Each structure stands twice: as C-alpha cells, then as structure tokens.
A and B are shown apart, each in its own frame.
Chain A
C-alpha cells in the first residue's frame, strides 16, 4: 500500500498547486508533499530492510533494497530542494528576474511560480515511478517522463540561451532514450524465447532476473550496448554529456540540483538493472569492460573543462559528469566491493551535491553573474555563511577526508586494486586529484580574498536553513552512517552481485 501512496502524493501535489492562486499556498503544498514523501520513503526503506521486497497490484509495482534506496534519495533531494526553492524564487521575484524573459514566453511571476510548483511534483513522481516500476518498459516510460517534465524547468527563465539549452536537452535526451527503448525491446526479445509468450510478465524484473542465464546471448549483447548508450545519455556520461553544462547552467537552481542529484541516480538505476541481467546472461566481463571505458572517459573529459572553467554553474555540471563517470567505473570494477563503492557514492553524492548548487545559487543571486571573471573574490565578507559552506562542500564533493565521498572513492579504489586493474586505478586517482585541485582553486578564488565591499546579503531564512541543515547532514554523514541505511545499501549490493 505504501508503494501506491509514494506515487499518489507527488502526483496529486502537482495539479493541486496548479489551481492555487497564492504563492505561499503553492509553497506550502510543495513542502508538505515532499515532507510526507520523505516519511513514506523512510518507512518503505525500513520495511524493505526488515522483511525483504514489497510488491502490489500483482507485482506491477515492486520495491527491493535497490529501489528503496533510490526512492529514499529522490525524496530527500526533493524535500531539501523545495525548502531552498522558496527562498530562491522569492529572491528572484523581488529582483524582477521573471520580467526579463517575459517577451520570450516568460510571464507574470505568479504564473512562472505556478509552472515550477506544478511541474516539480510531476518530475518527482516520474523519478519515484522509475524506482518502483517492476516492468522494464514502464521503467523506460518513467525515465522519458523525467525528461519531459524537466524540459520546461530548463527553459524556465525564457532567455534565448535557455531555449537553446532546452532544445539540446530535449533532442539529445530523446535520441538517447530511443536507443534505450531499442535496448529494452531487444532484451524483451532475448527473454521471449526463454519465457514463452506471456505478454505482461515478460518484461517484469522479478521474472526476468531468475531466467537471465537462458537469454539469447548475441541479442543481449547488442541490447546492453544500446542501454548503456541510452541511459548513459541520461546520466550524462561522455561522449553523450554535451547537454549537461547547458541544461544545468540555465535551469533554476532547485531544478538543476534535482537533475544533478536525483535524476542521475534514476538513470544509473536503470543501467544497473540491465547490468545485472547482462552479467547473469553473458558473465560479468563484457559489461564490465564497457562500463570501465565509459566511466574513465567521462572522468577524463571532465578534467580539462574543470581546470579552465570560466563559469561556476557550468563547472558544477562537469563535476556531475565526473561523478556519474565514477559510479559507472565502480560498477565496471564490479565485485561486492566495487558495487558497494558505487552505491555508497550514489548515496553520498545525492546528499552532498544539492548544497554545492545552493551555494552557487546564492552567489549568483548576489553577484547577478555566473562568471568567475566578473566576481571579484572575497565573498566570505559579504556572505559568511554561504562562503564557508561553499568551501566546505567543495572539499566534500571532491572527495577530501573526512567527508563521506572520500570513503566511497576509497572503496572504489580498493575494488580497482583488488580486481587487478592497477593502471586504471592509478588513472582514477590522477583524475580525482586534478579535479580536486581545479575545483579548489576556482572556489577559493571566488570565496576568499580581500573584502570588495559588497553589501551584506543573507537575510532569507529559507535559504539559510536549507544551507545550514544540509551542511550539518553532510558533516554528520562523514562520521556516522545510520545502521538501517547501511543495511539497505548492503541489501542493494546483494541484489546487484547475486541477482537476488
């Protein structure tokens, strides 16, 4: 029953916000819906951790530890972003940002806010559906749904550049996902011969995983390549990453944070499901080599763009490309240790990344630019809280100890060494160090330095509370992982490594 509620709450919150006239009512609906969603997701995680997979409606919706983890992370990111969004859009409104885009299909502030508060719950609904769908075809429909719901978020401000970013996002996403659909069809075909002509259950994960070893092998091989290209496009791994810097720098900050911290997980989740089938059908070698190749390529592509980056919002996008590369690489290293590293990385990344976006958003709203060149440095004087948090989260996101991403990256490194990928593991460290130094230099230049004499900003309690709250979570997670959460992750590791 809890699975149904998880879907109904965001699905109802979107249309409800559409019919409201007052700004603070929309904000309240959004906030309440996501708070309830996080409670439900926590309840689901505890239940799955205690008594194993849950399914309803003849197995149409299905949740095991892996899906529960993705649901939990999506709900967490949605809630924290909705808190920040309140402060962010109030600031935008009082600065008249919405009027700029008015002639290009923007509109009155209240209409833009309604657009945001209606689409975001639908966006979250598709993310939850990705994790809860048992049928791999529905999984595809839901991932396409996340793209469709977020295209309008990317062109939210209605500037010429937003249109360009939205066009790229929609077209590249559309082509990528059509490849994933082809992969899904071929998976169905290769399973068809083993399972007979049972039409609905033939794509159900819970049925497929038990029979994966009898699938038609050449078909499955092609299917996995298409799935990797398709869901890889959605996860933004190189060379299909080109939509990411544009979309992330044009979308409003809360939307971009959700794209980076939650949708990324959904795409990786889809990839993992097919990886399990492929590994059972063909043995782990074939899929691993492809994943390692694309993972390292993504990290390698991110390095030069982070080192010479001029725009701090685009830099966040390259950081996201880097992190999806790390996750794909970890999955490629495989084994219990590699998969554990990947799932820990997914968890910690989802918790850490939104704060990076919030700090960048605060800085952008203060300076009215997203270029390093036009920022004079010394932001810590006018925005002490954001400045400090920005430095902290930069260290956290680049994997410096004691923050939690260090733990996951170290686990992945150990997995690489223990599986005998010596050269690749060294390459992995090199990329990490290069990204660390590039990131730190840019952000330190932005935040530290003499006081340029800007007026003090930071009065909004919504923005402050989301930044402080999330920073506390990140610090705590550096030292302590709640036992139920770790059990959930271990359960998910078992699913990936043994298929059950």
Chain B
C-alpha cells in the first residue's frame, strides 16, 4: 500500500476528480430538469468534499478535514434536500426556456473552460517544479472555469431557483480554488463562509417562495415593474 503515501498518486486522483467536477458542471448547463440540476449539484459537492479530504490526507492538514465534512453535510446533503423540498412545495419539476439553447450553451461552457486555463496559466511559475505548484495549476483552471460557468448559468436561466443553483456552483468554484491554491482558508473564515452560504440559500428560498406566490411564476423576467 505504498502508493497511499505517494503525493503524486494523490495529485493524480485530485486532478481526475476535478475533471469530473467540471464535466458535471457542463452537464448541468445542458440540463432541462430542475430536480436533476439539484442532484448534479449534490454530486459535485460530494466530489469537492472528497477532494478536500484527499488534500487533507496527503498534506496532513487536519483543519481541511473539517471543511470537507462541512461540505459533505451542508452542500451535498442539507442544501440539496432543502432545495428539492422547495421544488416539491411550489410544484415545478420541469425547467425550460433558457435564453440560449442547450447545444450552444454547452459550447459556450467549453469556451469558458478554455478561458479558465488561460487565466490559470498566468499564475503558473515553471521554476516551482514541486508537486504542489502543478496541482494548484490544474485545479485552479477548473475552479476558474466553474466560477465562469456558474456566472453564465445565472445569466442564461430565467427561473429564480436555477439562478440560486448558479450562485451555488459559483461558490463551489471558489471552494475548489481555496483548497487547491492555499490548502483552505483559515478555519474560522471557512466556517463563516459556510454559515453565510447556508443563510443565503435559506433567504433566497424564502424569496423564491414569495415570488412564486405573488407572481404565480418563478420566471424572474416577469420582475420588471421597477424601471426608470
């Protein structure tokens, strides 16, 4: 079992999982069903928790275990459960009409991934040949791509709940950037961020619910009374 101590092995596993996270994100862009988008988010968060756990294991950084556990409980468990409950309560299962159709959206997501790689390139210092620099490089590119695609999803979707999902996957990108670049933020900061994300999703959930009651729709493009 020597490979379990080999940092290079850890690095490969992490790169593989980061790639899976990216694939899931692109799959979410082409997704038409609200519930499956939520489940994709849950799986993605589960993978992120695993990545955090592996980084913690290979670097003996015990505080990342806590971040991994929190991700697992909150983002892969509690939040998807809350969101699915919300979907059931407002009785919308199908999510249609993105502004740009699915094939083109996926193409754009691919281009954004490229942008992620170009941006990450500017942080790459070839003189640092350690495993850590290489590791940071690959996962950072994925993280930036997640961030950009999340951004694009928010612009592209008109349903209130999918905008919340976009915001969450954007947040996932940030988490990946934080653990891959610096092995996580200080623990208190990490806890604060988790708390904020949880509260934000609850508040947005309440808002979605009230918008649905007031306008009889979740379509945020109907929110256009406040104009100059």
Contact = CB atoms under 8 A, between A and B. Distances in A.
**Interface size range of chain A in the complex:** 35 or more
A365 interface: no
Interface in A325-359: none
B189 A138 contact: yes
A185 B193 CA distance: 12
B171 A246 contact: no
Looking at B178, B186, B204, the one whose CB has the most chain A CB atoms below 10 A away is B186
A53 B39 CA distance: 49
Looking at B177, B178, B183, B187, the one whose CB has the most chain A CB atoms below 10 A away is B178
A305 B228 contact: yes
Given A104-B210, A141-B189, A218-B122, A192 B170 contact: no
A164 B207 CA distance: 9
A189 B200 contact: no
Interface stretch (A74-82, A143-151, A429-437): A143-151
B214 interface: yes
Contact of B177 (A185, A192, A216, A249): A185
A185 B214 contact: no
A164 B217 CA distance: 13
A145 B196 contact: yes
B91 interface: no
Contacts of A141: 189, 192-193, 195-196
A137 B203 contact: no
Contacts of B185: 137, 185, 188, 203
Given A160-B225, A164-B223, A203-B189, A171 B210 contact: no
A185 B223 CA distance: 34
B211 A163 contact: yes
A137 B187 CA distance: 10
Contacts of B196: 141, 144-145, 148
A170 interface: yes
Nearest to B167: A174
Contact of B187 (A145, A188, A199): A199
A453 interface: no
Interface string A182-205: 100110110010000101101100
A85 interface: no
Given A158-B210, A163-B211, A165-B226, 4 more contacts: A178-B147, A178-B170, A186-B177, A200-B187
17 contacts: A138-B192, A141-B195, A144-B196, A144-B200, A155-B210, A160-B215, A163-B210, A167-B160, A168-B223, A170-B200, A170-B207, A174-B204, A178-B174, A185-B177, A200-B186, A219-B123, A246-B226
Interface of B: 63, 119, 122-123, 147, 151, 154, 160, 163, 167, 170-171, 174, 177-178, 181-189, 192-193, 195-196, 199-200, 203-204, 207, 210-211, 213-215, 220, 223-226, 228
